[in-house]
Chain A
Amino acid sequence: MAKSVLVVGGGPAGLAAARTLGKLGIPTILVEKEQKLGGRPILEDYHTLIPRKMTPQQVIGPFIEEVQNNPNVDVKLGVELEACEGEAPNFKVKLSNGEEHEVGAIVVATGFQHFDAKRKGELGYGIYPDVITNLELEQMFSREGKLYRPSNGQLPKRVAFVFCVGSRDRQLGVTNVHCCRYGCALSGLQGTEIREKYPDVDVFCYYMDVRTYGTWEYPFYWAPQEKYGVRYVRGRIAEITYNPQDGRLRVKHEDTIVQRPAEVPMDLVVLVLGMEPSEGTKKVAKILGLAQDPDSQFLVPAEDSGSNIISNKPGVFIAGACKGPIDIESSLAEGEAAGAEAATFIGAKVSA
């Protein structure tokens, strides 16, 4: 029986799984297709993570360090899973660098990708420079440390957040019907950050619902609204246009509370992007024969298990955003759970 575990994906969930396995003394192979560990938050320079309001380096940095320094974990960067033969607990896996390994269990943590905002043509992303994504806003904060309008470099007077871009939208097909889960909370946080640093900038959130679920309600909805004066307007932005006379954008929507159409001037519009399964997630699902949601293509847990990290295939465990939108701390927790589950699956004995 093979006594090692393969972890596919070096983001938060994969790192957490590899860290747990390494600490348990289990030989672990971690493959990551990028040249760097850390996943989206590190690769794309997120500024602040919800819900702890810490930087990616603070949250994921220690995981990267521990994984890299643990002799039990073999980190392979720029490497993907190519093929898998056999059944648990004797998987024969082939990697893109030509190596072949025999592993007793696999943890899949292949993550998500951001929605491509250009698919919603009516929102003008890629046409008007002052229409940006919430990812670009994060990078504006983290890389440049200031808020500005890309068209002229000036501080905007008004910023609008457009919720649910690429989420809860049948117009995009059955693939984007789900809720992104993080968008409302992140917008509340970004709005807070803007108002803290630039109290004269007015911030508007255009929403259908505010889904700051559970304990996120106060820090990411009530506080932005009550303490920082972020304004919430109910109504989905249907169109963004540009007025050459004043050089400002217009957000077209119905204020559903007033029941009147509105085309209000804005200087910077931030599209709150939905989450989709990454290409890697779809590819690994085919290789390993994992069950996917027929609509969203996200991985789904085994039907007969109440645990959401148990896949339909014995010996394969799924963690993090490959199963659907999820926040970082839950990703880490799922990775740790999947790592521990994989360890028990291969019958590893933990030495005292």
Chain B
Amino acid sequence: MAIHERSLVDPERILRKERLVIDGIDVSGDWNLIILPRVIEDYDLSFLDEVLEQPEGKTILQCYQCSYCTASCPVHNYWDERYNPRHFIHLARLGLIDELQKRADVMWRCVSCHKCTHRCPKGVLVEEVLKAILRVMAKRGIIEEYPSKKFDKFFLESVYEYGRIEDGELLFGWIEKQGYQVVKDPVLKKPIPFMGGVPEWLKQLAIKPIKNMNIGFLILNAKHMLFHPRTKNWNRFKQVLRKVMEEEGVFAH
């Protein structure tokens, strides 16, 4: 059977069966199509409890849905209207899991500009609260480990090892973490730019700044890429850092 105003019906709510028997009556044919209702049938209130268990999630109760955060949010304003911190907080508080899941693909897009947190009239630490929500979603398996977290991890590893980051390594390392094939030279095991399975858009993204670099800076970068510089006396500081990170449980994650 045809559906009129098809655009108004979410695809996941349409059930179509070749053969359909209800209460022993064969209703295949014209009646083989069912549109599930949009009605919210219950809340999952344990979701909020799990958010509140985390120190970052504590201020979620303070939100009164004014949307000052969303109005300030660059991701919402310039990228995707579905990224809406205010809305995520409402969904998390009532435990509307299917609605959260619908937005799982955009929810990790926070750029951590913290405008939301600085402006919130109720003192909600919005960026932290959203991280707490993401963590509960990850725990429940309704969101994948978000790509930006892979970058965070790589960034941290680099700083931990050398006391500083190296731009080229960070870029290619991130490309590799994204699952693209990176070709490395056999001696130093360093990535060779623009070889391998790097997609075109990423090449363009990298070429632009390289083209605009002055030659001295470009050589410096190439040198750094080959022989990773290290902060002076980093090993001593690294020991302190390790201790702090152990105390804070960073390695456990």
Q: Spell out A's residues near B (CB within 8 Å).
A: 202, 210, 221-222, 225-226, 229, 231-234, 255, 257-258, 260-265
A226 touching B38, Cβ below 8 Å = no
Q: Decide yes or no whether B27 CB sits under 8 A from chain A.
A: no
If A202-B45, A233-B94, A257-B87 touch, whether A225 touches B40 (CB-CB below 8 Å) is: no
Q: Across the two chains, which residue of chain A brings its CB closest to B65? A: A257
Contact indicator A225/B64 (Cβ below 8 Å): yes
Bound CA span A257–B40, Å: 13
Residue count of chain B within 8 Å CB distance of chain A: 20
Q: How far is the CA of A49 from the CA of B93 in the complex (A)?
A: 30
Q: How far is the CB of A252 from chain B (nearest CB, A)?
A: 9
Complex Cα spacing A179 to B161, Å: 65
In the complex where A225-B64, A231-B93 touch, is A263 in contact with B45 (Cβ < 8 A)? no
Alpha-carbon separation in the docked complex, A262 to B37 (Å): 10
Number of A-B contacts (CB under 8 A): 48
Does the CB pair B40–A260 fall under 8 Å? yes
Contact A258 B43 (CB under 8 A): no
Pick the contact of A264: B40, B90, B93 (CB < 8 A). Answer: B40
CB neighbours (8 Å) of B45 from chain A are 202
Within 8 A of A (CB), among B110-161: 122
Contact in complex: A264, B61 (CB < 8 Å) = no
CB distance from B230 to the nearest CB of A (A): 48
Query: Which residues of the other chain, B, contact A263 by a CB distance below 8 angstroms?
Result: 39-41
> A231-B93, A258-B99 are known contacts; what are 11 more A-B pairs with Cβ within 8 Å?
A210-B64, A222-B62, A226-B61, A255-B94, A257-B90, A258-B87, A258-B96, A262-B39, A262-B40, A262-B41, A265-B42
B39, B62, B91, B93: residue with the most chain A Cβ atoms closer than 10 Å: B39
Residues of B within 8 A of A255 (CB): 40, 94
Chain B window 43-54, contacts with chain A (Cβ cutoff 8 Å), 1 for yes, 0 for no: 101000000000
A225's partner among B38, B61, B87 (CB-CB below 8 A) is B61
Rounded to whole Å, the gap between the CB of A73 and the closest CB of chain B is 47
Is B39 within 8 A of A261, CB to CB? Answer: yes
The 8 residue pairs across chains A and B that have the minimum distance between CB atoms? A262-B40, A261-B39, A226-B62, A257-B90, A226-B61, A260-B38, A260-B40, A263-B39
17 contacts between A and B (CB under 8 A): A222-B122, A225-B64, A226-B61, A226-B62, A231-B93, A257-B90, A258-B87, A258-B90, A258-B91, A258-B96, A260-B38, A260-B40, A260-B99, A261-B38, A261-B39, A262-B39, A262-B41
Q: Which residue of A lies closest to B87 (CB)?
A: A257
Chain B neighbourhood of A222, CB < 8 A: 62, 64, 122
Chain A residues with CB under 8 Å of B65's CB are 232, 234, 257
- State the Cβ distance, A234 to closest chain B Cβ, in Å: 7
Residues of B within 8 A of A265 (CB): 42
Whole-angstrom CA separation of A234 from B41 in the bound complex: 16
Q: Which residues in B have their C-beta under 8 angstroms from that of A226? A: 61-62
A166 to B48, CA, bound (A): 33
A262: B residues at CB distance < 8 A: 39-41
> Which chain A residue shows the least CB distance to B96?
A258
Which residue of chain B lies nearest to A263 when distances are taken between CB atoms in the complex?
B39
**B87: A residues at CB distance < 8 A:** 257-258
In the bound assembly, the distance between CA atoms of A261 and B40 in angstroms comes to: 6
Most interface-central of A221, A226, A232, A264 (chain B CB within 10 A): A226
- Note all chain B residues with C-beta closer than 8 A to A258: 40, 87, 90-91, 96, 99
> Does A229 contact B40, Cβ atoms closer than 8 Å?
no
Residues from chain B with a CB closer than 8 A to the CB of A232 are 64-65
User: Could you tell me the distance in whole angstroms from the C-beta of A157 to the nearest C-beta in chain B?
Assistant: 10
Q: How far is the CA of A260 from the CA of B98 in the complex (A)?
A: 12
Please, which residues of chain A bring their CB within 8 A of the CB of B64? 210, 221-222, 225, 232
A229-B61, A231-B93, A257-B87 are contacts. A264–B41 as well, Cβ < 8 Å? yes
